[in-house]
Amino acid sequence: MRPIVSKIIVSFWLVTTVISCSAVPDATVAVDNTTIINANYIGNGVQWDPYQLDYGAKQLKISSEDWQKLYSRLDFMIPQFIRVMINTTSVMENGVLNETKNYENIAPILEYCQSRSVKVVLGDWGDRMVNSKTNTISEQHLKAAAKYLDFLVNKKGFSCIHYYNMINEPNGFWSSTDENYELWKNAAFYFWSEVKALNLDKKVSLLGPDIAIWKTDKVDWITNSVKDLDHAIGVYDIHTYPSKITVNSGEYTSILKAYKDAVPTNKPIVMGEIGFKFVEKEDEALLNENIARAKAKPYASVEDSQMFVYDYVYGSDMADALIQTVNAGYSGSVAWMLDDAMHGKEEKNKLKVWGFWNILGDEYFGAKEEEVRPWFYSWSLLTKYMPSESQVHKVAVDGNQNLKAISVSKEGKNMIAIVNVSSQDLKINLTSKDLPVLNQVKKFVYAKGKLKLEGDHIILPNENNLKLDLKKNTSETIPAEGLLVLTNFDY
């Protein structure tokens, strides 16, 4: 009997070993290629404003070499949607518009966008456009803003400017409107009347209301804008700076949908600014760490910096936020922001550290600051492979809330992206009943220790020329705090 018993024991051991070693998935990701969430995606991009250049003790300029470096890095990203904000008062002298003043600061940005067919949102931060204390608008400055738009679009030929954003975040106490909807509406109305008088309304529409939100309590700004200004607004938008816990838990999706649902079905809504702030109690330790890092950085604003831009986790968190935004039906997202050197805070040499880099690192802030930071690569992958006019398909993720996914297509090419915001690797089954077999697929893995880099700013595929047949379950491992991108777009 011993040989039989031994065989039984060995067989049992083999079976249990195979079961324990088999790749039991943590979740299933199912692409529904027949259900379209968005039939005409505008695209993703970044905030790119004219540079500050005056740092108190030192006046700087962007060299031609640095402009070329910026262009090359953005050419890898292939942004489709860029927001450019100015103060019209900065191009006025003694209350009169001087169209050529500081033109050299904005021209290279718009020239890039024009040459690459990037859709641009131009706008005014709101300085002196209104007076919240007297509850009045400044017709003088609003008229100048319209004339400056006419100068850029008609005289300089920047047809890349599709939208105009009148007053940044007007629902905020920090805004020139001081939370006053009626004051913002009156300013937008007057500005739009000036745009029409210049026959610009066929070329440019308003983007608004451009409100900053954290919860669902500001939806009335959207509903009121629809009631009062829908004839002028081409694209609706909001700004979000959610806490990490809000996004990673998935609560962010329900907040986004409340604003999306308030927009007319024939109009798109986009994310005009997106970044992370640690505003919830669950993220208090991260907030304290952020403050400590900013204090330790000689030029970082303690009041307004996101010091986790140096960490890989910021890239996966931004991917999480973007994926939820896309799946909520939004048509584009603008990351805050391109470059530390654009904006100061508190003092002239204290910068808002939020960027992919600081292009003036070599000149002033330290050479290392000019290097590309990790989150550039995750945002670039989700910008480059979500081209304008893409279709967004429904994706179901079952089994683990730390995973989110999107699927997009255009002209027979596809991209699938899956983010894992947990602290451990997760295995998935990737499946689809109706997605055709994809050939020549590139596989990118964004995570610490996983990037395959080349040169100054290029991420290479971890694997190339793959065949992806999701009618047969495909197993993938998504690294901890990582992003997987599978695409057969041929660039």
Structure tokens at 329: 């039906």
Residue 79 lies in a domain: yes
User: Count of alpha carbons within 13 Å of 88, Cβ hemisphere only?
Assistant: 32
Q: Of 384, 408, 425, which residue constitutes the final position of a domain?
A: 384
Give the H or E element holding residue 244: helix 244-248
Omega of the bond leading into 415 within 30 degrees of 0 (cis): no
Sheet (strand 463-468) strand order:
463-468, 438-446, 482-487, 413-420, 403-410, 390-398, 27-41, 426-431, 474-478
Residue 221 lies in a domain: yes
Structure tokens at 441: 């697929």
Q: How far separated are the first and last CA of the chain, in Å rounded?
A: 66
Q: Of 323, 354, 384, which residue constitutes the final position of a domain?
A: 384
Q: Which of 373, 367, 244, 256 is nearest to 317 (CA)?
A: 244
Which residues fall within 8 angstroms of residue 437, CB to CB, at 6 or more apart? 467, 468, 469, 471
| Residue 434 and residue 299 in one domain | no
pLDDT number for residue 368? 97
| Residue 334 and residue 459 in one domain | no
| Residue 438 and residue 377 in one domain | no
Range of the domain at 471: 23-36+391-487
Global pTM reads: 0.94
| Residue 173 and residue 319 in one domain | yes
Residue 29 lies in a domain: yes
| Residue 363 and residue 327 in one domain | yes
**Positive or negative CA dihedral for 367, 368, 371, 373?**
negative
| Residue 312 and residue 433 in one domain | no
pLDDT number for residue 23? 59
| Residue 288 and residue 408 in one domain | no
| Residue 300 and residue 185 in one domain | yes
Residue 352 has phi, psi (to 5 degrees) of -80, 105
Residue 16 lies in a domain: no
Residue 243 lies in a domain: yes
Below-70 pLDDT ranges, the chain: 1-23
pLDDT number for residue 22? 52
The domain that holds 202 is classified in CATH as: 3.20.20.80
CB-based contact 277:241 (threshold 8 Å): yes
Q: Of 384, 407, 434, which residue constitutes the final position of a domain?
A: 384
| Residue 333 and residue 466 in one domain | no
The predicted-structure confidence for 394-417, as pLDDT tens digits, reads as follows 999 999 999 999 999 999 999 999
pLDDT number for residue 21? 43
Structurally, how many domains does the chain consist of? Answer: 2
User: To the nearest 10°, the Cα dihedral for 272, 329, 427, 319?
Assistant: 0
pLDDT number for residue 20? 39
Q: Helices 64-77 and 375-384 sit at what angle, rounded to 10 degrees? A: 60
The domain that holds 452 is classified in CATH as: 2.60.40.1180
Structure tokens at 166: 């009148």
Residue 411 lies in a domain: yes
| Residue 184 and residue 75 in one domain | yes
| Residue 171 and residue 284 in one domain | yes
CB-based contact 29:397 (threshold 8 Å): yes
Residue 6 lies in a domain: no
* Whole-number Å distance between alpha carbons of 479 and 165: 39
Residue 18 lies in a domain: no
| Residue 432 and residue 373 in one domain | no
CB-based contact 216:262 (threshold 8 Å): no
